[in-house]
Structure 1
Amino acid sequence: MAKTKTKKDQRFDSIEHENLYNWLKELGCNVEVNPKLGEGIYSTTISGDFIVFDIFPKGLVVELKQQDNTGTTDEKIPYLILNIKHNYLLPTVLILQGTGWRDGCFEWAKSQVGGDLLHVFPDINSFKGWMSGYK
């Protein structure tokens, strides 16, 4: 998928990522895009989608995954959640946007909540409602 360039050469995976970033900025959050989060379970460097500061003392990692059609993105969710639980070391929320997820994907991801994985949202609007309660 092509990257979108915006102010300060910020790179976004999709228009949804860019729109979420803009909404967080409008909400008054300090947001870092594609932050390096350390070493992952495969001993390679891992990056998140965003870190939102000002709400949680160490920051809040926001991961947005989009799947509009049946595909393999949902197969990456267990890898992501293992990294969140073992390597991110920051509070994290996961947004599973779109209608192309396989049956059971969202339910399984939600069952993994605990430790640094604070919440799994079924869409961006649910996350926005949750975030609005903090600002």
Structure 2
Amino acid sequence: MTDGTRANQTGQRAERVIACMLRERGYSFERQAYLGKSIYSHKLYCDFFVSNIPEFPGGLIIESKWQGSGGSADEKFPYLVENVRQVFPCPAVIVIAGGGHKPGAVAWLKAQVDGEKVFAVLNLEEFLCWMNKGLSDPVCSSEGYCTGLAV
């Protein structure tokens, strides 16, 4: 197995963990949601578009960035941040995992947090804590349909 294949698989595992966390909380989400054109005018997708978190009535995007060892994933942070600022239709939380990101890159990424578009940069454990303590449960109807809006 090549290093690129291994990195792709471990990144997908991290995304599955995030999906499991979202399902456990009852949030509705779309994986690989199409957002439009990137800052380079290419098709742009996000890892997760979550539509029913009460604190984010216009939606929340979650981007998962895995790097298990030295590599170039963190060199793509500026591209991600510019897309978040210029293209994403709602706030984004960036989840970093794997422990292989360059410390300077993580510090730079965290410095980009504005609490609005780049809402937060969290590791997986911080993300779990934030979901458990910082977010309300979705409101669900008797038919099981959940929304982020209080009835």
Name the TM-score, length of structure 1 as normaliser: 0.87
Name the % identity: 33
Residues of 1 paired with 2:130 and 2:17: CA distance?
A: 17
Q: Please, what TM-score do these two structures have when normalized by structure 2? A: 0.78
Q: Which has the higher contact order (CA 8 A, sep 6+)?
A: 2
Alignment-derived partner of residue 91 in structure 1: 91
Equivalent residue, structure 2, for 1:23: 21
Alpha-carbon deviations, 1:48-67, whole Å to 9, x = none?
00011211111100001000
Runs ≥4 residues deviating over 2 A: 1-4
State the match for 1:103 in structure 2.
Answer: 103
Segments of structure 1 that go 5 or more residues without pairing to the other structure are 5-11
Q: What's the C-alpha RMSD, in Å, of the aligned pairs? A: 1.8
Number of aligned residues: 127
2:112 match: 112
**What amino acid does structure 1 have at the position aligned with 2:60?**
L
CA distance in 2, matches of 1:129, 1:21: 15
**Aligned amino acid, residue 41 of structure 1:** I
Distance 1:31 1:89 in 2: 15
Task: State the Cα distance separating 1:13 from its structure 2 match.
Answer: 5.0
Within the candidate set 36, 39, 42, 1:38 is matched to: 36
Residue of structure 1 in register with 2:77 after alignment = 77
The correspondence for 1:49, drawn from 35, 47, 71, is 47
| Bigger CA radius of gyration | 2
